[in-house]
Amino acid sequence: MACSPAETIGEIMEHRYNIFDCHHHVGDVKAFLGETMGGSEETAADPLAVEMRRRIEIMDEGGVNQCCVIPGHGYERPNGLADTRRVNDSIAAYRDATPDRFPVAAGVCEPLYGAESLAELDRCKNELGLAAISFHTRFQGASMDNPWILKYVERMVELGLRPILHAMTESADEAIWKTATIARAFPDTTMLVLDSFSTFEGTKEVSDIAESHPNLLFDTSLSYNFDFIEIFARRFGAQRVVFGTDLYSPPLGRRISHLVPQILESALSDTEKAAILGGNGRSFFGIAG
């Protein structure tokens, strides 16, 4: 029998699942959805404060304690690197405003800027204290196997910035085999792959990639159910699965993933559930639980 949302939160508290969501985006969804979402939920003098309040409410309703925040990759960039710097500054400030709920933030790096992005990687680490850099090439006018991404990851490894690679497999630019080329180039570097369970064929392909690339972790975002992920966890170990929801700013983001009760109801052990729901993500980002 499926548990109700109230029972879900109760079970989270009972078992002390300290949920960490590795995959939140902050930004105006109209940048890539246009006007299809309608108007904003509300008008305020400080829209970012309203956005943050709603995000925390959604997290509380879904039993999520903390998350990693990532800029929305669809931001407009008519001024090139200056716009990317602004976005990275903003996500660092978002983290700093409520560090108990948003303990880590990831920046963005644009492959089309070539060598200019190398200095921005240095700034993201040394000035902004960002924990990771996210690539979402379907929004970046590039492919995940772009040679510049390999050069950026090389610099990131030197700096201690963690690679986050979106792999929405319905997009040719983010085909999972392209993610594998990066993993092969840096076999001793753990990388977090997002959205790879978003399609049936992609879910099957992930298992093949995971077997040959043990340095890849995979988040739960966009999966229509947890059943295939549970099979994946049993085959490769629960330590390879990280809870993520791909929660965007409202009005697109309204609730935490439907997968939480399915994870709780799964046949995995409490230790495995705790690892997926929080431990693995915190370990990847190097933060205390």
What are 66's strand-pairing partners? 20
Rg (CA), the chain: 18
Q: Is residue 81 a contact partner of residue 112, using CB atoms and an 8 Å limit?
A: no
Asked if pLDDT for residue 13 goes beyond 70, the answer is no
The CA distance from 36 to 39, in Å, is: 9
Provide the pLDDT confidence category of residue 9 given band limits of 50, 70 and 90. low
The CA distance from 287 to 289, in Å, is: 7
Query: For the residues of the chain, what is the DSSP string, one character each?
Result: -PPPHHHHHHHHHHTT--EEEEEEEES-THHHHTTTT-S-S---SSHHHHHHHHHHHHHHHHTEEEEEEEE-TT---TTTHHHHHHHHHHHHHHHHHSTTT--EEEEE--GGGTTHHHHHHHHHHHTS---EEEE-GGGTTS-TT-HHHHHHHHHHHHHTPEEEEE--TTSGGG-HHHHHHHHHH-TTS-EEEESTTSSHHHHHHHHHHHHH-TTEEEE-TT-S-SHHHHHHHHHH-GGGEE----BPSTTT--S--THHHHHHHSSS-HHHHHIIIIIHHHHHHT---
Q: Is residue 91 a contact partner of residue 107, using CB atoms and an 8 Å limit?
A: yes
Q: For residue 253, what pLDDT is reported?
A: 66
**Regarding predicted confidence, which is higher, 135 or 1?**
135
Mean pLDDT, range 267-288, rounded to an integer: 97
Q: For residue 157, what pLDDT is reported?
A: 99
- Looking at the structure of the chain, the number of domains it has is 1
Average per-residue pLDDT for the chain: 91
Q: For residue 130, what pLDDT is reported?
A: 99
Query: For the residues of 161-178, what is the DSSP string, one character each?
Result: PEEEEE--TTSGGG-HHH
pLDDT, tens digit (0-9, with 9 covering 90-100), for 224-246: 999 999 999 999 999 999 999 99
Mean pLDDT, range 249-275, rounded to an integer: 89
pLDDT, tens digit (0-9, with 9 covering 90-100), for 247-257: 998 766 677 88
Mean pLDDT, range 259-268, rounded to an integer: 95
CA distances from 25 to 10, 97, 137, 194 (A): 27, 16, 15, 12
CA 234, 239, 241, 242 torsion: positive or negative?
A: positive
pLDDT, tens digit (0-9, with 9 covering 90-100), for 176-213: 999 999 999 999 999 999 999 999 998 999 999 999 99
Mean pLDDT, range 258-285, rounded to an integer: 97
Q: Any idea what the CATH number is for the domain that residue 212 is in?
A: 3.20.20.140
The CA distance from 230 to 237, in Å, is: 10
pLDDT, tens digit (0-9, with 9 covering 90-100), for 65-81: 999 999 999 999 999 99
Q: For residue 250, what pLDDT is reported?
A: 76
**Regarding predicted confidence, which is higher, 14 or 89?**
89
Is 0.75 topped by the overall pTM?
A: yes
pLDDT, tens digit (0-9, with 9 covering 90-100), for 83-140: 999 999 999 999 999 999 999 999 999 999 999 999 999 999 999 999 999 999 999 9
Asked if pLDDT for residue 1 goes beyond 50, the answer is no
Q: What angle do CA 197, 198, 202 make, to 5 degrees?
A: 65
pLDDT, tens digit (0-9, with 9 covering 90-100), for 23-50: 999 987 666 555 655 555 555 568 889 9
Q: Domain span at residue 18?
A: 5-32+41-285
Residue for token pair 């990771």: 132
The CA distance from 161 to 191, in Å, is: 10
Q: What angle do CA 268, 272, 274 make, to 5 degrees?
A: 120
What whole-number percentage of the chain has pLDDT above 90? 80
Q: For residue 288, what pLDDT is reported?
A: 86
Q: For residue 27, what pLDDT is reported?
A: 87
Q: For residue 28, what pLDDT is reported?
A: 77
